[in-house]
């Protein structure tokens, strides 16, 4: 019963509406505009912008959206069927959908008799009229109409005949697509398969869609199974954001449709922007990236075990189900105490260092990495520190500066009552001593400012570098205040982003190690790019 291979699956994105119902998600109008443009670049067919009339923000967004020039997407407005005792022409919700002038309307209606009786307090016949009247009204206004059959799978299990009659009411009124919703997220793939097949038997001419929630951690699998059984439209959100446990994650569904089921939904070029889109939406929504997210996560193609990496060196298919570049991601070889020779060789190759030409250095690098990790260092996410370790052994370079000493003071400001941090630092560059003092919002910031002031005279390109993230973790917490700490620093400039690490029983010393490596990496890479000192 599945659609023939080659049938294009339409993507309906509801990040800007259903996604914003997720806990901790709050998008400004400007955020919604940015995400809408990113979705269009990705190539989705429909962008659900919100529920007009429900709040001023969505109203403003739809006004802004009319001036956007989409190349791929059509804007959709969301709402419900008419109210029980109001005609479609007089219903304010339907009027709001018409007012925002989107080419597409998506309305939901009740397919579960439990909801008809208890939520709407309507008769089954009255609910069917509400569905039909609403669809006919929107079609009379020239809209493409997607009908969301809310709670369809629960409704079907409760009363299949009535659930099907709700779909027939929408179809006979002219709905362009009937989307079956697993609103409570309780279905499993075999449920989806059986019910979608039965719907297709009863409504063979209807174009079906699927809308799943992730309460059973099966939303992606359920959506893919629905496609396998013949639906032609898939609803979801970027990164699976949404109410409760989230919506079906389009970021995982898209490559599943294209590369697992062999059905088109984007072009290959669009698919290669998947990782970029995922991370961009994460940034705009002010969310923490999920490193283990399939396909696009930072760890999705990360290999750590020496046996795995050795096999990967011979054939990438040994431990990868898909080439990472297909979705715009990249393979990462991790360095740790579990690493073998292959890890070191492949990791160094990422930095254009051929360790196979320096076999004597490989064992030294392995020994140093294992010894440092035993002390608490962690080179995953601190690849710049690993690079410096390799370069000092393979291609020794003259240090860009020598530290003679630093001092950090934190004291109470008697005037403001707050704390003030001050760092004093002395370094030597090409035989010249620089002694600098700087204040900061904290001791690490003060130390960073002092180091920059000391070095920018010699290396003005440091002005392009900035600290992006700074994390501190206690390694041996049972030692109490004598515990060691591990500091990760993430920095970037116009060309790249890099991470460094420091470990010490003193948080200032650990921070200094991470800052020092960050600056040294920047200066070394710039020298390799032939950026001259003044």
Does 213 lie in the same domain as 285? no
Does 150 lie in the same domain as 16? yes
Spatial CA neighbour of 296 closest among 241, 252, 240: 252
Determine the Cα–Cα distance for residues 444 and 508; give it in Å rounded to an integer: 7
Tokens of 521: 């990496």
- pLDDT tens for 321-360 read 999 999 998 877 766 555 566 677 777 777 777 777 787 7
Spatial CA neighbour of 195 closest among 171, 160, 233: 160
Cα separation of the two ends of the chain: 71
Domain span at 427: 402-528
Write the CB contacts of 405 (distance below 8 Å, at least 6 apart in sequence).
425, 426
Residue 378: inside a domain, yes or no?
no
For residue 3, the model assigns a pLDDT of: 57
Does 161 lie in the same domain as 145? yes
Determine the Cα–Cα distance for residues 272 and 260; give it in Å rounded to an integer: 16
In the sheet with 432-440, reading across from the earlier edge strand, the strands are: 402-412, 419-429, 432-440
Residue 382: inside a domain, yes or no?
no
Strands 332-333 and 302-303: parallel
Interior/surface letters 429-455, b for 16+ CB within 10 angstroms, e for the rest: beeeebebebebeebbbbbbbbbbebb
Determine the Cα–Cα distance for residues 131 and 401; give it in Å rounded to an integer: 74
- pLDDT tens for 364-394 read 887 887 788 778 887 777 888 888 988 888 8
Spatial CA neighbour of 196 closest among 185, 210, 183: 210
Determine the Cα–Cα distance for residues 344 and 386; give it in Å rounded to an integer: 10
The backbone torsions φ and ψ at residue 303, rounded to the nearest 5 degrees and listed phi first, read -125, 130
Does 107 lie in the same domain as 239? yes
Does 453 lie in the same domain as 437? yes
Spatial CA neighbour of 177 closest among 147, 142, 153: 147
pTM: 0.73
In angstroms, the Cα distances linking 467 to 193, 396, 502, 514 are 50, 26, 15, 11
Does 275 lie in the same domain as 144? no
Q: Return mean pLDDT, the chain.
A: 89
For residue 532, the model assigns a pLDDT of: 42
- pLDDT tens for 438-476 read 998 888 889 999 999 999 999 999 999 988 888 888 876
| Banded pLDDT at 5 (limits 50, 70, 90) | low
Q: Report the CATH number at residue 513.
A: 3.30.160.270
Spatial CA neighbour of 42 closest among 9, 13, 3: 13
Q: Report the CATH number at residue 231.
A: 3.20.20.70
Does 419 lie in the same domain as 310? no
Per-residue pLDDT averaged across 283-303, rounded?
A: 87
| Banded pLDDT at 401 (limits 50, 70, 90) | very high
Question: Which of 295-309, 365-379, 509-523 tops mean pLDDT?
Answer: 509-523
Does 326 lie in the same domain as 228? no
- pLDDT tens for 491-515 read 999 888 898 999 998 889 999 999 9
Per-residue pLDDT averaged across 90-114, rounded?
A: 95
- Provide the domain count of the chain: 3
Residue 364: inside a domain, yes or no?
no
For residue 375, the model assigns a pLDDT of: 82
- pLDDT tens for 237-257 read 999 999 999 999 999 999 999
Which string of DSSP letters, residue by residue, matches 199-215? HHHH-TT--EEEEEB-T
Does 192 lie in the same domain as 302? no
Does 249 lie in the same domain as 207? yes
**Sequence-ordered strand ranges (E) for 430-465:** 432-440
Question: Which of 124-128, 310-314, 318-322, 350-354 tops mean pLDDT?
Answer: 124-128
Environment class of 514 (CB within 10 Å of its CB; exposed 0-12, middle 13-18, buried 19+): buried
Least confident of 60-64, 90-94, 389-393: 389-393
Does 279 lie in the same domain as 252? no
Residue 180: inside a domain, yes or no?
yes
Which residue, 333, 359, 386, sits at the end of a domain? 333
Does 174 lie in the same domain as 313? no
Angle at 414 between CA 412 and CA 416, to 5 degrees: 90
Which residue, 279, 303, 333, sits at the end of a domain? 333
Reported as type and span, the H/E element at residue 423 is strand 419-429
Determine the Cα–Cα distance for residues 476 and 456; give it in Å rounded to an integer: 37
| Banded pLDDT at 479 (limits 50, 70, 90) | low
Residue 310: inside a domain, yes or no?
yes
Q: Report the CATH number at residue 294.
A: 4.10.430.20
Environment class of 121 (CB within 10 Å of its CB; exposed 0-12, middle 13-18, buried 19+): exposed
- pLDDT tens for 256-274 read 999 999 999 999 999 999 9
* Cβ-contact 275, 285 below 8 angstroms: no
**pLDDT reading at 426 higher than 80:** yes
Least confident of 6-10, 42-46, 49-53, 73-77: 6-10
Spatial CA neighbour of 45 closest among 347, 321, 264, 195: 264
Write down the residue that tokens 């997407």 correspond to: 73
């Amino acid at each position: 019963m599945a659609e023939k291979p080659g049938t294009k699956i339409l993507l309906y994105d509801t990040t800007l509406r259903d996604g914003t119902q997720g806990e901790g998600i709050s998008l400004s109008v400007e955020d919604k505009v940015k995400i809408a443009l990113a979705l269009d670049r990705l190539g989705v067919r429909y962008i659900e912008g919100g529920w007009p009339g429900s709040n001023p923000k969505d109203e403003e967004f739809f006004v802004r959206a009319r001036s956007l020039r989409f190349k791929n997407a059509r804007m959709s407005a969301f709402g419900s069927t008419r109210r029980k005792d109001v005609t479609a022409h007089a219903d304010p919700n339907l009027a709001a959908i018409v007012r925002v002038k989107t080419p597409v309307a998506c309305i939901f209606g009740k397919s579960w008799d439990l909801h008809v009786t208890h939520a709407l307090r309507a008769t089954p016949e009255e609910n069917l009229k509400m569905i039909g009247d609403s669809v006919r009204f929107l079609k009379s206004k020239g809209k493409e109409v997607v009908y969301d059959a809310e709670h369809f799978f629960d409704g079907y299990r409760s009363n299949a005949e009535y659930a099907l009659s709700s779909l027939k009411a929408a179809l006979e009124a002219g709905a362009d697509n009937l989307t079956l919703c697993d609103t409570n997220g309780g279905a499993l793939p075999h449920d989806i398969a059986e019910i979608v097949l039965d719907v297709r038997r009863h409504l063979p001419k209807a174009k079906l869609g699927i809308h799943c929630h992730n309460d059973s951690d099966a939303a992606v699998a359920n959506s893919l199974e629905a496609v396998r059984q013949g639906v032609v439209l898939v609803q979801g959100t970027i990164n699976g954001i949404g109410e409760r446990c989230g919506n079906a994650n389009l970021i995982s569904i898209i490559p599943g449709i294209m590369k697992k089921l062999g059905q088109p939904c984007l072009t290959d070029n669009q698919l290669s922007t998947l990782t970029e889109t995922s991370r961009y939406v994460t940034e705009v929504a002010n969310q923490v990236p999920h490193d283990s997210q399939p396909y696009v996560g930072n760890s999705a193609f990360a290999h750590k075990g020496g046996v795995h990496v050795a096999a990967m060196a011979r054939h990438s298919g040994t431990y990868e189900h898909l080439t990472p570049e297909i979705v715009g991601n990249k393979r990462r070889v991790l360095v740790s105490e579990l690493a073998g020779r292959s890890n070191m060789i492949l990791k160094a190759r990422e930095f254009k260092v051929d360790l196979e030409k320096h076999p004597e250095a490989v064992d030294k690098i392995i020994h140093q990495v294992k010894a440092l990790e035993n002390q608490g260092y962690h080179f995953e996410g601190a690849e710049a520190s690993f690079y410096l370790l390799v370069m000092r052994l393979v291609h020794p370079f003259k240090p860009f500066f020598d530290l003679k000493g630093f001092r950090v003071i934190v004291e109470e400001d008697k005037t403001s009552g707050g704390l003030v941090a001050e760092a004093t630092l002395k370094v030597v560059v090409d035989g010249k001593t620089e002694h600098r003092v700087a204040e900061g919002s904290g001791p690490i910031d003060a130390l960073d400012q002092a180091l920059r002031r000391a070095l920018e005279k010699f290396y003005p390109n440091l002005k392009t570098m900035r600290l992006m993230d700074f994390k501190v973790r206690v390694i041996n917490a049972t030692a109490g205040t004598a515990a060691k700490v591990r500091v990760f620093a993430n920095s970037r400039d116009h060309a790249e982003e890099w991470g460094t690490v420091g470990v010490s029983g003193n948080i200032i010393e650990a921070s200094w190690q991470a800052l020092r490596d960050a600056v040294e990496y920047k200066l070394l890479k710039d020298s390799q790019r032939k950026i001259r000192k003044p």
